[in-house]
Homo-oligomer: A and B are copies of this chain.
């Protein structure tokens, strides 16, 4: 599995993804699941992916190829809505191609993607693209999307994140959400890639990578864990007659 989360905030957009891929428990590898499309001038588009790795890699390769040959390229589109539409079309194309082969057995070719960022002239936007190629857009009411192994890390996001949360607080929340997931599910693992798109900033940048040994990550995990245990211990018990 995989775990990715993205948050659409007033200050900008946060993206975070883990790097563990597994086919069964004995074929575990590290793959970056965050992909950037940017030109340093008027756009930053980020895609994080979960699901069948063959499908998601093909989708990204085809999107990059389209960029190069200029055919419906997402670096030339005027709206993130058009980008999401193109990503969805490419997802359908890859799944139709791969699942049409013989001897496919019971393989699940599906995937899900979060596509977001900003194109100059628009607000930052965020979309969740499904395996069927359709998609939904984040709003201030529900300013985040998760894909992959999302349930373990959802409660802390539900408790903390609103559209007004700062990007710095959002990074902290995302890392805690990953920590909860990683502790409870071996199919999600570090390193964790994080990218912050600050509103109207289109300078080239690369994802920030948190290795397992990253001092801030270690400090945060330790402080969160001991803080939770202290908080838990501080709450009153109840007497239930057994």
Query: A176-B232, A227-B231, A231-B231 given as contacts; is B205 within 8 A of A241 (CB)?
Result: yes
Interface hits, A59-88 → B, CB 8 Å: none
A208 to B241, alpha carbons, bound, how many Å? 8
Q: Is A216 touching B231 in the complex (CB atoms < 8 A)? A: no
Which chain B residue shows the least CB distance to A13? B242
A201 to B240, alpha carbons, bound, how many Å? 14
A227 to B229, alpha carbons, bound, how many Å? 11
Q: Is A228 touching B172 in the complex (CB atoms < 8 A)? A: no
Pick the residue among B168, B205, B242 that contacts A167 (CB under 8 A): B242
Identify the stretch in A27-35, A89-97, A147-155 within 8 Å (CB) of chain B at 4 or more residues.
Answer: A147-155
Question: Range of interface residues on chain A?
Answer: 35 or more
Pick the residue among B181, B194, B228, B235 that contacts A231 (CB under 8 A): B228
Residue A234 CB within 8 A of the other chain: yes
Q: Is A184 touching B232 in the complex (CB atoms < 8 A)? A: no
Residue A139 CB within 8 A of the other chain: no
Query: A160-B232, A228-B231, A241-B205 given as contacts; is B172 within 8 A of A184 (CB)?
Result: no
Note all chain B residues with C-beta closer than 8 A to A185: 151
Note all chain B residues with C-beta closer than 8 A to A167: 242
Give the most central of A152, A156, A208, A229: most B CB within 10 Å.
A152
Pick the residue among B196, B208, B235, B241 that contacts A172 (CB under 8 A): B235
A195 to B242, alpha carbons, bound, how many Å? 7
A12 to B197, alpha carbons, bound, how many Å? 51
A residues in contact (CB < 8 Å) with B: 12, 151-156, 158-160, 167-169, 171-173, 176, 180-181, 183-185, 194-198, 201, 205, 208, 216, 219-220, 223-225, 227-229, 231-232, 234-242
Additional 6 contacts, C-beta under 8 A, given A159-B229, A172-B235, A219-B236:
A152-B154, A159-B225, A171-B237, A171-B240, A172-B237, A220-B236
